[in-house]
Each structure stands twice: as structure tokens, then as C-alpha cells.
Amino acid sequence: GSVAGLLLLVFYVSGVLATTLFGENFPQWFGSLGESMYSLFQIMTLESWSMGIVRPVMEVQPNAWIFFIPFITVTTFTVLNLFIGIVVDAMATVKEHEQEELHSDHLDIETMIGELHKEVRALRKELSRID
């Protein structure tokens, strides 16, 4: 929850900045907030970000790397952290479920042992009567 919220906040702020910084020169990628966020999503996923968007922007605005490098670093690690969190949570859920099953099996075994003890006592009583 909080990681996704952080990512959304970073995207929104970066989208506003990108629209302001690059929208006039590159309206096809940064002309509106929606286009900026779409372009930033493409950059975050590292899908043709270098040749497709960043290099053409840097040819016109050489200091654009000051915006793009931190954006890529923060968003890529945030998404990586989000996926790692999902995997760890899933593994913890599976382990908890397995522990519950083991506990349930343990209780079933204890119940069966108790019943077997009762049967053994009953059989011993029967044997003592026969003797």
C-alpha cells in the first residue's frame, strides 16, 4: 500500500515537472500531464527509454539527465521493492498456511494416540478378565 502510494506520488510530481520542463519542446511525450505520465511509465519500465525519449530530449536540453537519472533510479527501485514485498508476503502466507496444517495434523495425531491408549487399556482389561 505505502510503496504503491509513494510510487504514485513520485509519478505525479515527476509528471508535473516533466510537463513543465520538456512539454514545450517535446509535446508528443510531455505535452500534457497524461502524456508525461505515460512517457515516464515507459521510461520507468526501461522500454526504449534511452533512444526513444531521453536521448532526443538531451540533444535539445543537455541537463535533462538531472531529471531522468534520479527518476529512473527511484522508480525502478520502488517497483522492485514492491514486487519483492509481494513475493515475501506470498511466501509468508504460504508458510503460515503450512504451519496451520502441521498444527492441525499434530492435533489429529494426538487425538488418535489418545484413542489408541483407551483401546489398549480396554484390551488389557479384557485380557485380565480372561486370565
- pLDDT tens digits, one per residue of 41-58: 999 988 888 888 999 999
Distance in angstroms (rounded) separating the CA atoms of residues 101 and 75: 39
Distance in angstroms (rounded) separating the CA atoms of residues 20 and 24: 8
Which pLDDT belongs to residue 53?
93
Question: Which tens digit of pLDDT belongs to each residue from 2-22?
Answer: 778 888 999 999 999 999 999
Q: Could you tell me the pTM of the whole model?
A: 0.66
pLDDT, mean over the chain: 92
What domains, with CATH codes, occur in the chain?
2-130 (1.10.287.70)
